[in-house]
Amino acid sequence: MTVAVKPTADPKAVAVVDELVRRARAAMVVFAEADQARVDEAVTALAWSLYNPGHAKELAELAVADTGLGNVPDKIIKKQRKTFGTLRDLLRVKTVGIVEEDKARGIVKCAKPVGVVCAITPSTNPAATPVNKAMMALKGRNAIVIAASPAGLKTTQRAVDYMRVELKKIGLPEDLVQILPPPASKDMTQALMEAADLVVATGSQDNVRRAYSSGTPAIGVGTGNVPVIIDETADLDEAAQKICASKIFDNATSCSSENSVVILDAVYDQAIAALERAGGYMASAMEKERIERRLWQDGKLSRHLIARDADVLASAFGLPVAAAQKKFFMVEETGVGRNFPFSGEKLALVLAVYRARDFDAAIARVNEIIAHQGRGHSCGLHTKELARARKLAEQVDVVRVLINQAHTFGNGGSFDNGLNFTLSMGCGTWGGNSISENLNYKHFINITHLVTPIREDKPSEEELFGAYWDKYGR
> For the domain that residue 399 is a member of, what is the CATH number?
3.40.309.10
Number of separate domains in the chain: 2
Segment 20-31 mean pLDDT: 98
Residue 470 lies in a domain: no
Residue 5 has pLDDT above 60, yes or no: no
Segment 456-464 mean pLDDT: 97
Based on the fold, state whether residues 217 and 281 are members of the same structural domain: no
Amino acid 6: pLDDT:
47
Based on the fold, state whether residues 200 and 230 are members of the same structural domain: no
Amino acid 434: pLDDT:
94
> How high does pLDDT run on average in the chain?
96
Based on the fold, state whether residues 72 and 20 are members of the same structural domain: yes
Segment 51-71 mean pLDDT: 96
Residue 336 has pLDDT above 80, yes or no: yes
State the pLDDT confidence band at 8, using cuts at 50, 70 and 90: low
Segment 440-468 mean pLDDT: 97
Residue 4 has pLDDT above 70, yes or no: no
State the pLDDT confidence band at 238, using cuts at 50, 70 and 90: very high
Residue 102 has pLDDT above 80, yes or no: yes
Q: Which candidate in 118, 244, 255, 427 is catalytic?
A: 255
Residue 121 lies in a domain: yes
Segment 291-300 mean pLDDT: 94
pLDDT in tens, 132-161: 999 999 999 999 999 999 999 999 999 999
With pLDDT > 70 as the criterion, what percentage of the chain qualifies? 98
Residue 54 lies in a domain: yes
Segment 309-332 mean pLDDT: 96
Based on the fold, state whether residues 267 and 343 are members of the same structural domain: yes
Based on the fold, state whether residues 97 and 240 are members of the same structural domain: no
Look up the CATH number of the domain holding residue 129: 3.40.605.10
Residue 161 lies in a domain: yes
State the pLDDT confidence band at 9, using cuts at 50, 70 and 90: low
- Mark whether 255 is an active-site residue: yes
Residue 242 has pLDDT above 60, yes or no: yes
Amino acid 1: pLDDT:
45
Residue 3 lies in a domain: no
Strand order in the sheet with 218-220: 177-179, 143-147, 116-120, 198-201, 218-220
Segment 325-352 mean pLDDT: 97
Based on the fold, state whether residues 210 and 232 are members of the same structural domain: no
Residue 5 lies in a domain: no
Amino acid 2: pLDDT:
45
Residue 188 has pLDDT above 50, yes or no: yes
Domain residues for the domain of 215 are 11-221+439-450
Segment 52-74 mean pLDDT: 96
